């Protein structure tokens, strides 16, 4: 069964030593820049590869930036027979907004959301400039990116983010290809 929990509920559970597993399904660069002390990294992009390493006997609390990727991971765990699954509502955004303790990393890599905004903006600008300077047909690039952004908003998924998550700068170093409880 998949339940939703608040950041305050999970924080209280962690403070009192409650038995649970906090799994962060954000990408390595996001996790490395800011995370909860007791969270284990298991990025959604290769979640299936490590999902069997999660203990079935303990409650699983899934965390991401806002809750969407955590909900996707919850569905994958439910399909594998997990029964005590909790999605942390609002994710790290809610956690930081509630001024709960975080570990700040030294990552200079932008968050995935910021990378998407930059890339989309750059593609729109490129399409507009090339459409003006070279041929009006290149305005199609700007329209294509705009349509992709609308699709991303309606479906709450982002193809560009999925592609950017696989870029080398967003990957864990080779030595850290396994779940990241040690990257604290």
**Digit-coded pLDDT (tens) for 77-95:** 999 999 999 999 999 999 9
Sites in the chain below the pLDDT cut of 70 = 107, 172-184
Last residue of a domain, one of 56, 88, 107: 107
Q: Are residues 15 and 84 in the same domain?
A: yes
SS3 143: helix
- Determine contact, residues 139/147, Cβ cutoff 8 Å: no
* Residue 178 covered by a domain: no
**Which pLDDT value is given to residue 161?**
84
Q: Are residues 87 and 63 in the same domain?
A: yes
H/E stretch holding 93: helix 91-97
**Which pLDDT value is given to residue 162?**
83
Q: Are residues 98 and 116 in the same domain?
A: no
pTM: 0.69
DSSP state of 24: E
Q: Are residues 85 and 131 in the same domain?
A: no
**Which pLDDT value is given to residue 118?**
94
Q: Are residues 21 and 49 in the same domain?
A: yes
- Structural domain count, the chain: 2
118 lies in which domain range? Answer: 112-170
User: Which residue from 40, 36, 150 is spatially nearest to 103, judged by alpha carbons?
Assistant: 36
Give the contacts of 96 (CB within 8 A, at least 6 positions apart).
34, 102
Please tell me the distance from the alpha carbon of residue 90 to that of residue 98, in angstroms, as a whole number. 10
Last residue of a domain, one of 80, 107, 134: 107
How is residue 102 written in tokens? 């975080």
**Which pLDDT value is given to residue 182?**
38
Provide the annotated active-site residues.
64
**Which pLDDT value is given to residue 49?**
87
């Amino acid at each position: 069964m998949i339940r939703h929990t608040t950041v305050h509920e999970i924080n209280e559970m962690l403070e009192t030593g409650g038995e649970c597993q906090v799994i962060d399904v954000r990408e390595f660069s996001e996790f490395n820049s800011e995370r909860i002390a007791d969270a284990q990294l298991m990025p959604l992009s290769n979640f299936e590869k490590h999902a069997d390493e999660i203990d079935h006997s303990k409650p699983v609390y899934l965390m991401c930036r806002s809750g969407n990727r955590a909900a996707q991971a919850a569905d994958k765990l439910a399909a594998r027979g997990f029964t005590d699954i909790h999605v942390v509502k609002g994710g790290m955004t809610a956690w930081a907004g509630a001024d709960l303790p975080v570990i700040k990393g030294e990552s200079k890599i932008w968050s995935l959301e910021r990378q998407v905004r930059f890339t989309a903006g750059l593609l729109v600008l490129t399409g507009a400039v090339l459409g003006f300077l070279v041929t009006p047909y290149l305005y199609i690039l700007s329209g294509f990116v705009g349509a992709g952004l609308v699709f991303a908003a309606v479906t709450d998924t982002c193809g560009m983010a999925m592609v950017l998550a696989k870029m080398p700068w967003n990957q864990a170093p080779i030595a850290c290809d396994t779940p990241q409880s040690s990257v604290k």
